Structure 1
Amino acid sequence: MVMNFIDTNARLLHQLLEEHCVPVSSTKSAAASALFGQLQQAGIICKRRKGGGNQFLLEHPESLSAFIEQTYPEGLFAEEDDDRLSRIQGVMQSRDSKTRKQLDFAFLNTRGTVTVKLAGQTHELAVLTNANTSLCLKISASQQCELLTPCSIIVTVENPTAFVELEQMFEQPWNLAVYTAGKMSDILLLQLQCWHQQNHKLVHFGDYDYVGLLEFARILCFAPQAYLYYPAMLEKLLQQYGNTELLRKQVGQHKILLETVRQLPESLGKQQLIEVHQLLQATAKGLEQEGLYKGSQKKLPASPIGTLA
């Protein structure tokens, strides 16, 4: 059976779950290095010498399965060539799996320059994290992460490439980056709401398609004063690098998006969302953050409506 993985990280996670080890030499890319740094920080894997080289060894398979459910809610595979799913594939691909039903926590993947506190422990992200290393914290509805640095600017990032290359892609200042890994859990949304209520600023930097806008709309339901970041040259980028198939595949999400936006109270964030939606409609194209990075290879000035007050 041929397995078509969503991306390289998905392939590495599958290998780790199946073989309980991955050569360190296979994780040299920025995205893979950041991912395995998170897993090591969370204690899910450890690095040891095995055979002819260093290996990442799996120590907690159940925690890894939960991490995969959180990070790849749609599964690791782009498509399935066989109706008979293995036990591992079933856990990773089924949105109604036993793991998902019992999951009462979420992983908060972060990097930045702030100080955070969780379960009585204080963490200095300026010391612990950088473009290649992030801090992975386990949060729940009853145990949230406290942000000790006042008036912080928090950027929620949907895509691993953008999370790693944020300094190159994000023109505005920021203090804390949170990797949302696609669709955010309710626990993560509650965490964002908590920070929002403590007068920290939230900025969403996601894909420019219906699914990405729907994620921002979900944030607005919990944090009405959140902002949407998008480049001033977004229309040009959509025309040059956009993908028409993205929007064609998201008809269902588009309907949900329109209904969600209709119910949102008026705010700057809602206005920004509508502005980007109009650009998607005008160009009939969507743009994922990978395409944004490839198309720019430099910091992108934000649209005037997208700047922070």
Structure 2
Amino acid sequence: MTTPPALSPLARVLYQLLEGGRIPASQVSRAVIVELRPLLDSGAVNLVRAGAGYTYSVAHRQAVKSFADSRFPVGLMQGAAGADLSDRERGVMEVRDSKRTRGVGFEYALVRLAPGLELLRTDGPVPWHATLPEGAPSAWAVAVVLEEESAGDWRLSDPDAHIAVVENLDTFSRVDLADIGVTAALFAGGRLSSRQIALLTSLAAAGHGILHVGDYDPVGLEEYLRLKELVREVSLYVPEDLEALFKLHSTPAILQKPRNRSALARLRTVTDPAVRRVVGLIDAENGCLEQEAITVAHRASMDT
């Protein structure tokens, strides 16, 4: 018997039970067995000996059919017609809930580029590149798609270009790229995803340096160390006036959370020079500094 494409492992098992009356136990995962528990407990499906192994066999077909209809309201065969559906669309078809599935299978990455700089993807049948139009506002960014399987092979048109990883959207849109010594910036949006890290790994392999621009607190420092461990070619942005910024703008509020104090204790044992300097300032001022202080200081210097 040929099994058509189905929406999930459970759907495939139910299809075989309804069409053939049985399925080898070796083809049923533990996760599916858990989902089949109502049918097993009621006796609608039984585990029986078959030769040298075991088989799940249907005892009450109508009960199995009713169970399948309740779990897959549009039918077990809809997977064949919906091969191009996203995970969330598939979730609606399968269990009437888009949030029960993993996501949309891709994500958008926002990248700011200096005038004339191009972001290029060199793998695939058609070379791809993105740049901003001449005269575009400095806060403009390009959006690129990062697929689930691989970020692809990426590089910047200037082989000496560096890219910043900026944690917060406000800083990402306002920071002067030249002021922090880069010509491109990736919006991290908090903790970097695996796809974003794959993109940065590809850029690092092409010879581009990566600058981490995050909050100067335990969470931001641990994210920097995580990225450095995965990508290697990463440095922490430490402005020359960081000590003055700490004195002006640091706050003890972040350190009131026990998990942040525990993280700070771990960071005190790190040998990375940049981390040690920031941890020293956190201890000295008994407070942490949000990255927005960088743009505040830059704008203040422009006004004087």
| Post-superposition CA distance 1:265-307 (Å, at most 9, x none) | x7xxx2212211221122111111234433552469xxxxxxx
SS of the equivalent of 1:287 reads coil
Choose between structure 1 and 2 for higher RCO, CA contacts under 8 A separated by at least 6 residues: 1
| Post-superposition CA distance 1:105-162 (Å, at most 9, x none) | 3321101133223453533424276423211111134242511421220111111121
| Post-superposition CA distance 1:167-216 (Å, at most 9, x none) | 1x862431211111111112211221221122110111111111111111
Question: Which consecutive unaligned segments of at least 5 residues does structure 1 have?
Answer: 1-61, 66-90, 92-96, 301-309
1:270-309 correspondence runs (5 A): 270-298=272-300
Structure 1 Cα separation of the partners of residues 268 and 160 of structure 2 = 28
Give yes or no for the alignment of 1:153 onto 2:162: yes
**Contact kept in structure 2, 1:241 and 1:287, CA below 8 Å:** yes
> Which residue number corresponds to residue 106 of structure 1?
107
Q: 2:223 aligns with which of 206, 211, 215?
A: 215
The one-letter amino acid of 2:273's match is: Q
The one-letter amino acid of 1:188's match is: Q
The one-letter amino acid of 2:113's match is: G
> Which residue number corresponds to residue 144 of structure 2?
137
> Which residue number corresponds to residue 117 of structure 1?
120
Q: 2:239 aligns with which of 207, 227, 231?
A: 231
**Contact kept in structure 1, 2:227 and 2:234, CA below 8 Å:** yes
SS of the equivalent of 2:179 reads coil
> Which residue number corresponds to residue 179 of structure 1?
187
The one-letter amino acid of 2:181's match is: P
The one-letter amino acid of 2:209's match is: K
1:36-51 correspondence runs (5 A): none
Greater radius of gyration (CA) = 2
Question: Which consecutive unaligned segments of at least 5 residues does structure 2 have?
Answer: 1-84, 89-97
The one-letter amino acid of 2:280's match is: Q
TM-score (norm 1): 0.56
SS of the equivalent of 1:171 reads helix
Structure 1 Cα separation of the partners of residues 209 and 290 of structure 2 = 24
Give yes or no for the alignment of 1:247 onto 2:255: yes
Structure 1 Cα separation of the partners of residues 255 and 204 of structure 2 = 31
Structure 2 Cα separation of the partners of residues 283 and 188 of structure 1 = 33
- How many matched pairs? 201
The one-letter amino acid of 2:284's match is: A
> Which residue number corresponds to residue 127 of structure 1?
133
| Post-superposition CA distance 1:10-45 (Å, at most 9, x none) | xxxxxxxxxxxxxxxxxxxxxxxxxxxxxxxxxxxx
Residues 190/255 of structure 1: CA separation in 2 closer, same or farther (3 Å cut):
farther
1:225 Cα shift?
3.0
TM-score (norm 2): 0.57
Query: Is 203-212 or 135-144 further displaced after alignment?
Result: 135-144
1:88-103 correspondence runs (5 A): 98=100, 101-102=102-103
Give yes or no for the alignment of 1:165 onto 2:168: no
Cα RMSD of the aligned pairs, angstroms, is 3.2
Residues 253/102 of structure 1: CA separation in 2 closer, same or farther (3 Å cut):
farther
SS of the equivalent of 1:163 reads helix
SS of the equivalent of 1:294 reads helix
Structure 2 Cα separation of the partners of residues 214 and 299 of structure 1 = 30
**Contact kept in structure 2, 1:106 and 1:185, CA below 8 Å:** no
Structure 1 Cα separation of the partners of residues 233 and 105 of structure 2 = 27
